[in-house]
Amino acid sequence: MLHDMKIRSIEVLPCYPKSNYVKITTESGLVGWGEPVVEGRARATAQAVEEVAPQLIGKNAGDIEDNFNILYRGNFYKGGAVLNSAISGIEQALWDIKGKHFGVPVYDLLGGAAKAKQKVYAWIHGSTPEAMADSAQRRLAQGYKNIKMNVTNEMEWISGHERIEAASALLGAVRDRVGDKLEIGVDFHGRVHKTVARQLMREIEQYNILFVEEPVLPYNEEDLLDLRRSSSIPIATGERLYTRWDFKKIFRLGAVDIIQPDLSHAGGLWEVRKISAMAEAYDIAVAPHCPLGVIAFAACLHHDLATPNAFIQEQVIDVHTTADGGALGQQPGGSSSGGGNRPPAAVEMYLKENTGVYTFEDGFVLKPQSPGLGIEVDEEKLREDALKTDMPTWSHPVWRMDDGTVTEW
């Protein structure tokens, strides 16, 4: 058994336009896939994977706790987005191998499924209230029960009421169109400074908001206490926190209702399962952040199915690939995007047939049964594109205020 899972090689390949895939191969030929990336810093993360990979060659892929500690504790300098994301993608691939070795889905190795299906939400977009309402109506028609939206663009340190009213108008248009048939999460994206965040949260309370995400930047967590006192909207944060040690500060603060660790950033599947168990002890819900590809989504889904307090899952595989925002795989109500029963073209080109396909039902994704993470990558296509020099890549935009100062995207 040890020889069967002994790591022979670790290789990272770009997954255009935004991500990386890491391939880990054992001496027996078992292959596991993970998704290590920092959005906008894919190349730096790939380099970090290549730098730490030699530490695991010859190790047992199934010893996931020890392998994590080799990569995390075995380095004097710990933490940070790039290093932790490199570790996260490698760790996902190790779980994929272990599940395939034993012929079971990864959630079975995490204590077994705690539920039969996982609630998901989809994004809506629009630059005008009417366009945002149209997007919400499409999601409702697709069978979703939960959506999320941005309501702000560039924000001053202190903003006039015009921007607050514009944000409120977007939400008002959605509520007018779909009523209470959709639960709405709102992402402030860390764009809003504490004084304006307080004003904005009070203004949008009238729309029965499911949660407000990153009302302030993650390292201004002390401001969350004030926001919680001034508004009844549940507060969510955590996509830019790494490992249980960052989240420990949030739990002690006692100012959030939902944490949002990212399984491609926070340390991987097992590390986020530990974070979620800590959250459960503090009576805090979990909604993993997932703005990435199908492997990251698969890791999230297996985590969620084994985690009682994982109440909802972000899925945005479609968000940058289809004009009408079609969802991943089989659609609620029988419709689909990208053709047939498969993900949209920009994602599906790196998947083999009949993998990474999930059944959506009434706002949930049903429990998959395939071993490992259930993903088989079209490696030939992935390698073919990796050699090209004209493939599109993604980076963060730089936003400036009217006076020229750089502001949060």
Taking the C-alpha atoms of residue 232 and residue 215, their distance in angstroms, rounded to an integer, is 13
Q: Which of 189, 193, 265, 302 is catalytic?
A: 189
pLDDT of residue 308: 98
pLDDT of residue 187: 96
Are residues 322 and 315 in contact, defined by beta-carbon separation less than 8 angstroms? no
The model's pTM is 0.91
Taking the C-alpha atoms of residue 352 and residue 289, their distance in angstroms, rounded to an integer, is 25
Taking the C-alpha atoms of residue 380 and residue 350, their distance in angstroms, rounded to an integer, is 9
pLDDT of residue 326: 38
Beta strands in 174-261 (DSSP E): 183-187, 209-213, 235-237, 258-259
Distances (CA, A) of 384 to 41, 164, 166, 350, 380: 21, 47, 45, 10, 6
- Ranges of residues in the chain with a pLDDT under 70 are 1-3, 317-349, 353-356
- Cis peptide preceding 36, ω within 30 of 0: no
Are residues 21 and 350 in contact, defined by beta-carbon separation less than 8 angstroms? yes
Helix (H, G, I), strand (E, B) or coil at 270: helix
Count the neighbouring beta carbons within 10 Å of the beta carbon of residue 275: 29
In the numeric block, which tokens belong to residue 71? 């990569």
Active site residue 101: no
Amino acid found at 169: A
Q: Which residues contact 64 (CB under 8 A, 6 or more apart)?
A: 91, 94, 95, 98, 270
Active site residue 193: no
pLDDT of residue 1: 54
Residues across the chain:
409
C-alpha dihedral over 357, 360, 364, 368, to 10 degrees?
-30
Count the neighbouring beta carbons within 10 Å of the beta carbon of residue 15: 24
pLDDT of residue 329: 39
Helix (H, G, I), strand (E, B) or coil at 350: coil
Q: Which of 265, 289, 302, 303 is catalytic?
A: 289
Distances (CA, A) of 169 to 165, 173, 309: 6, 6, 33
Closest alpha carbon to 271 in 39, 84, 33, 105: 84
In the numeric block, which tokens belong to residue 399? 């936003």
Q: Kindly report the CA angle at 260 between 257 and 265, in degrees rounded to 5?
A: 155
Distances (CA, A) of 127 to 149, 288, 315, 354, 361: 11, 26, 21, 36, 29
Helix (H, G, I), strand (E, B) or coil at 217: coil
pLDDT of residue 391: 79
Q: Kindly report the CA angle at 39 between 38 and 41, in degrees rounded to 5?
A: 65
Q: Are strands 258-259 and 235-237 parallel, antiparallel or unpaired?
A: parallel
pLDDT of residue 349: 58
